[in-house]
Amino acid sequence: MHLSLTFVSSSLFFLSVLSRETVWDAAAIARRLVDNSTSSIGVMATVFPLDHSSSPAQPFAMQEYYASCHTNGSLTLLFLPISRHSQNILHSNHHAASLSVSSALPAARSPRVSLIGNVTVYTNTTLVPNRNAIQSCYLARHPDARWWLPEDDDAAHIAYWARFDPESVYFVGGFGDKHFIGYIPLEIYQGAPASAEVSLQGGLVEQY
């Protein structure tokens, strides 16, 4: 009896070790969450400037459209200078921002990822690499954005193409007994296979 109990508990232990997510699993899950999100809307966080009148140095979070249009996991944004996030980013020396994406049904046991990085804004539209491909990739995800595209004189707001480059990737796979929780090294995240679904839907711009 004692022996078989030991056997059961040690094989359970073995199973849970076997089923534990590796950092590579975590990277693939995180990339799928971000790249294959049907809404392609994340929660962005930025920080108010130090000299802001009502919320100096306070964090600010609100939803933000993105599109995964690069094989390395950098994200395409439409940067509207009028928005609070854009103001905070422009006031940050490092153009810092963080973007979090979670599962379709967010729950404690479901994966979510937070990308911490910075934003490059192309105020000169002619300098956007692969501009037409970027625009089609973004519009495939966000058809409603056709009303506020850069260089559209009839658009409701001034807009610029921008790129968000993740610098750190923090992943919570679910409950920590089975799932990976912690930082995913950037090279592993950038090298993780992007979702095939994304390229089928005309998502990714680059070939790999």
Ligand X SMILES: *[C@@H]1O[C@H](CO)[C@@H](O)[C@H](O)[C@H]1NC(C)=O
List residues binding ligand X (CB under 6 A).
Answer: 32, 36, 38, 70, 72, 74, 94-95, 118, 120, 124, 126-127, 165, 167, 195-197
Question: Shortest gap between Cβ of 124 and ligand X (angstroms)?
Answer: 4
CB nearer ligand X, residue 32 or residue 112: 32
Number of H helices, E strands in the chain: 6, 8
Structure tokens at 117: 């990085």
Question: Shortest gap between Cβ of 51 and ligand X (angstroms)?
Answer: 19
> To 10 degrees, the CA torsion angle through 167, 78, 45, 82?
140
Q: For tokens 């799932």, name the residue.
A: 179
81/87 Cα distance (integer angstroms): 6
Among the listed residues 42, 131, 114, the one whose alpha carbon sits nearest the alpha carbon of residue 139? 131
Contact (CB, 8 A) for 162 and 119 = yes
CB nearer ligand X, residue 163 or residue 180: 163
Question: Shortest gap between Cβ of 1 and ligand X (angstroms)?
Answer: 45
CB nearer ligand X, residue 70 or residue 179: 70
CB nearer ligand X, residue 4 or residue 93: 93
104/39 Cα distance (integer angstroms): 9
Among the listed residues 172, 194, 167, the one whose alpha carbon sits nearest the alpha carbon of residue 68? 194
Question: Shortest gap between Cβ of 163 and ligand X (angstroms)?
Answer: 6
CB nearer ligand X, residue 3 or residue 127: 127
Question: Shortest gap between Cβ of 166 and ligand X (angstroms)?
Answer: 7
